[in-house]
Structure 1
């Protein structure tokens, strides 16, 4: 019987191949209408049925529901439940149709994994809280690994886990184990940091747990002594925490500032560099003892690093580096280091109107702070700015439009620069031949 069935199947395939050859290889395969998603009109890969009885592809209907719709796209009836039910019968029929049409280049769709439900997420998080209370580090690590695997499985799983409060539970667990014996819990703390990096951005409750003294010290330890993955996860969590107002604790932790500067000096990836720059920016602009913090960063050579970084960096890095320099140049120590560096003026002037509106605003602000606080009688900084084309660039800034504050600063700079124009000709009328004026 089996051999007879195989002969019939081979005959069908041979017949299809002959039909395709007879049509010059251009025969178009038509997907049965009941295998098509009513939304995307494509072959369903994961058919699911709503409470109205209509079947859709999971990806399409979930996008519809996530957009805020609460009705069935076809029947327009209100959905009693937003949880679609897998339609295994249709899925098996589609897979059979794919197998029968392999000769036409149709690949069999894989059997989809059933996504996690809110009930399952709540059950897992409940277990996490239980092992946390028992201080069972190994049990907690196993649960965290399981959650991480589910999040990696699909974006839908990730959204479901996050929406059910996993960020707060995991952050509270991190704080709890960071207060206990650190040497004993390094493995579970490292695993928790890795899953927190997948849950960003965190809610305020989760940030409050990570902002505790024990949590911050733990993250700094991984930043200083962890492997590259541990450093990356730690600085991402740290950046998230600092943005919530916990910055004044960080500068008091031994080795924190050195670890952040090291990530700029020896970058791991763009993501870690951006996170480190954002954290430093908050520290130089929001700390209680800002002057002391800036003095320490200056001693570590941060000013020179950032100026050299600006020479050839992508937009986001430039904006963040300029923001940090703008904070550092508010104080005498930072400005002195800027005056000593030969690239300071050329780089800052070059970034005007070359990167983004935000970068231009920070560039004007930093130039203003350096030029207004010039203490040399010969106006060395102002003359250097004129030599590298600052006058022309600032005129363009006023012409193309910018914020009122930036215009005010640009005007102040032009007045300062104008006092030294007789020492060198800095404007060629041909520079503005093609300038489009807004009036």
Structure 2
């Protein structure tokens, strides 16, 4: 293989000064090249077939579902990757020898964590929890968290081999005692839980305990922004996995105020999204008290707060914020409050065809609610028409939409047809002559 001055992904590092002089042109030994990428191996590992590959290349090969050795085509009965230390040392020596040609020495790679190591650490954590040894639990959580940060492979291996269950068990146990005494441990566990799902049903039941939920709710108002983000993220994950958590959350005094405060004083987009998901679940899943929850959030000022989030929010925040706003507009109080806000109609019209299909459907749904029944009025429909809602709705029909959205658009067109005299520029719109006035 002839190594040119151009740097390839995964190839040896080349000094720019040497490249510019055109001095670098030598052959990388075939033994040092990965059979998959043909690049110089940084972390050579040997499979059960006896063939050595660069770890990154063979892992990507296996992760895509391949179960055969790329060179021999033999079935890989054992996917274990054994580090080839001898070959790695030869490659490093070769890099040092060719330093004058602009080749940088490849550092000794960290060996990724294995499944047995994860299981061993989980067992030790469970044992330490049973002994009530909080100090040892902190050490183990920190140790595994550090390993998880080294690579996505490590994080995936840790998450898939019971780490979440050990964390849930430890968290539930120590929340039975003073939260202040074990604050460091509980915060470390929350941080790990934020990236270490999935959880087993047993783990979910432990985190659904009164002590666990009250601890997470307590941390929603913690001064540490990272802890607040982790707490709301874990609660969102729990609700997603088991909707019964909504019943438990509702029983926590002041939970609505805590969630509202996270939106009012933003931490990060991830925390905002998680908070919106929790609020939406609380409104939708509580058939008997959902209206009361909506009223409480409206009185706090959630509608203008969400409208502010929609102004500069990214796609995910807009989708979730519009879903919450749509739910609040199910009630008369929500429709009146939203309609009276000067930002509502301009923002909804703007979001149509501007963010996502979900945002378009939700924006149309909210407009339909606002203009229907007692809250609908001449001024609102005319304002939407002046902002270009008619043309946007026509485009939505042309590009295609669901049956429910199509029905709402039809109703909106009928309202616009009834009030078209108030908009001079729409008098000549041929689309209106095909619309029948509502009965």
TM-score strictly above 0.5 = yes
Distance 1:303 1:179 in 2: 37
Give the equivalent residue in structure 2 for 1:136: 133
Structure 2 CA distance, aligned partners of 1:347 and 1:110? 53
C-alpha distance in 2 between matches for 1:278 and 1:431: 42
Flag the 1:204–1:360 CA change in 2: closer, same or farther, 3 A: farther
Please give the alpha-carbon distance, in whole angstroms, between the structure 2 residues aligned to 1:287 and 1:92: 63
Change (3 A) 1:220 1:24: closer
Mapped partners of 2:38, 2:347: distance in 1: 53
Residues 302-340 of structure 1: CA deviation (Å, up to 9, x unaligned):
100111222222222111111110111111221121122
Residue 302 of structure 1 corresponds to which residue in structure 2?
302
Q: Distance in 1 between matches of 2:200 and 2:395?
A: 42
Alignment of 1:41-56 (within 5 A): 41-56=38-53
The alpha-carbon deviation at position 209 of structure 1 amounts to 3.1
Task: Tell me which residue corresponds to 2:25.
Answer: 28
C-alpha distance in 1 between matches for 2:425 and 2:197: 49
- Unpaired segments of 5 or more residues in structure 2? 1-17, 432-439
Tell me, yes or no, if the aligned pair for 2:164 and 2:198 is still in contact at 8 Å: no
Deviation of 1:218 after TM superposition, in Å, equals: 1.0
8 A contact 1:224–1:255 mirrored in 2? no
Contact 2:159-2:198 at 8 Å conserved across structures: no
CA–CA separation in structure 1 for the residues paired with 2:276 and 2:198:
17
Judging changes above 3 Å, is the alpha-carbon distance between structure 1 residues 391 and 123 closer, same or farther for their aligned structure 2 residues? same
The 5 A counterparts of 1:164-313 are 164-200=161-197, 202=199, 205-243=202-240, 244-245=242-243, 246-288=245-287, 289-313=289-313
Q: 2:346, 2:384 within 8 Å by CA — same for their partners in 1?
A: yes
Larger Rg: 1
Name the CA distance, whole Å, in 2 between partners of 1:155 and 1:272.
22
**Which position in structure 1 is the counterpart of 2:351?**
351
User: Which 4+ runs in 1 deviate beyond 6 A?
Assistant: none
**SS in structure 1 at match of 2:220:** helix
Conserved in 1, the CA contact under 8 Å of 2:23 and 2:101? no
Change in Cα spacing, 1:265 to 1:24, as seen in structure 2 (3 Å) is closer
**Are 2:58 and 1:70 aligned?**
no
Greater shift, 307-316 or 195-204, is seen at 195-204
SS in 2 for 1:70: coil
1 CA distance for matches of 2:96 and 2:27? 15
Question: 1:121 aligns to what?
Answer: 118
Higher alpha-carbon deviation: 52-61 or 416-425: 416-425
Bigger mean CA deviation after superposition, 363-372 or 282-291: 282-291
CA deviation after TM superposition for structure 1 residue 421, in Å: 1.5
CA displacement, residues 134-166 of structure 1 (integer Å, 9 cap, x when unaligned): 222222111111111111122222111111121
Q: Is the 8 A contact 1:392 1:427 kept in 2?
A: no
**Length, aligned pairs only:** 411
